[in-house]
Chains A and B, each alone.
Chain A
Amino acid sequence: EAQVTQNPRYLITVTGKKLTVTCSQNMNHEYMSWYRQDPGLGLRQIYYSMNVEVTDKGDVPEGYKVSRKEKRNFPLILESPSPNQTSLYFCASTQGTSGGPNTGELFFGEGSRLTVL
C-alpha cells in the first residue's frame, strides 16, 4: 500500500533528551516535508527536502534538524527538546512534475504526537 509512515506515533519525553521521529514513504516521491500542527495555528512547515541531500528551512525550523540521505526517508531530529515543541507532527511527501518537485498534492503520515515535559 502506498503510504507515508511515521514513528513513533506517540511519545512523551523530558526536556533535553534527544529524540528522532522517523518518516518513510514508499512512493518514490522526490519532495518531503515536516509540519507541526498546533491549535489555532494550523499547519506550519518545519523543514522540507526537494530531493536526496537537498534540505531547506520552512517557517519554524528552530530547534529541529533533518537529513535526507535516502529518497524514502526523512527523519526529524530534536537535539534538545523543550516544552514548546510539544505538538502534533506530520510528515508529507509528493511527486514532482516538470513544474517542480512539489505539486501541492501532499500525502501525509498519520502524525506523531510529542509531549515534552
Chain B
Amino acid sequence: AQRVTQPEKLLSVFKGAPVELKCNYSYSGSPELFWYVQYSRQRLQLLLRHISRESIKGFTADLNKGETSFHLKKPFAQEEDSAMYYCALLWISSGSARQLTFGSGTQLTVLP
C-alpha cells in the first residue's frame, strides 16, 4: 500500500543554517511527489513538485527512487520559512483514480 513517512514531527534550526526535511514514500507504481507548506494563519499551498525540478523560495527536493525519498532542502534557512511542511504522493488507485496521500507533517521553526 502507498504510504508517506515524515519521521520528524518538529524540527528547529537557526537562521542561516541548512535545513533538510525528510520524506520517504512507499509505492509500487511510478511516483509523483509534492511538498506542501502551511504558514501560520494561511492556507495550505503547493511549494514544489518533483517533475518541475525547480527551486521555490530557495527550497529544492530531489526524488531518489533508489532510497524512495524526496527530502526538502534549503542551504540557508530564514525565519519566514517557519511553517508546517507536508510531503505528498500522487498515486493511482485500483479504480484508476489519481489520489494524493499526505505525510504526517513536519513543523519547522527557524530560530533567530
Q: Which residues of A contact B (CB under 8 A)?
A: 33, 35, 40-45, 48, 50, 56, 58-59, 90, 92, 99-106, 108-111
The CB with the most chain A CB atoms within 10 A, among B44, B45, B49, is that of B44
Residue from the list A42, A104, A111 in contact with B90, Cβ < 8 A: A104
For window 53-112 of B, CB contacts with A under 8 Å fall at 86, 88, 90, 92, 95-105
Residue from the list B43, B46, B86, B95 in contact with A105, Cβ < 8 A: B46
Do B49 and A41 touch across chains, with their CB atoms under 8 A apart? Answer: no
Do A50 and B103 touch across chains, with their CB atoms under 8 A apart? Answer: no
Q: How far is the CA of A45 from the CA of B36 in the complex (A)?
A: 15
Q: How far is the CA of A10 from the CA of B44 in the complex (A)?
A: 17
Q: How far is the CA of A73 from the CA of B50 in the complex (A)?
A: 30
Do A100 and B9 touch across chains, with their CB atoms under 8 A apart? Answer: no
Given the interface pairs A45-B99, A48-B99, the reply to whether A105 lies near B49 with Cβ below 8 Å is yes
Q: How far is the CA of A110 from the CA of B104 in the complex (A)?
A: 19
Do B101 and A45 touch across chains, with their CB atoms under 8 A apart? Answer: yes
Q: Which residues of A contact B100 (CB under 8 A)?
A: 33, 45, 102, 104, 106
Given the interface pairs A41-B104, A42-B104, A43-B86, the reply to whether A104 lies near B44 with Cβ below 8 Å is no
Q: How far is the CA of A56 from the CA of B94 in the complex (A)?
A: 12
Q: How far is the CA of A50 from the CA of B93 in the complex (A)?
A: 13
Given the interface pairs A40-B9, A42-B86, the reply to whether A102 lies near B102 with Cβ below 8 Å is no
Further pairs besides A42-B103, A104-B32, A106-B46: 16, Cβ < 8 Å: A40-B9, A40-B104, A41-B104, A42-B6, A42-B105, A43-B86, A43-B105, A56-B95, A59-B101, A92-B44, A100-B92, A100-B96, A100-B97, A102-B97, A104-B34, A105-B34
Q: Which residues of B contact A50 (CB under 8 A)?
A: 97
Q: How far is the CA of A100 from the CA of B56 in the complex (A)?
A: 26
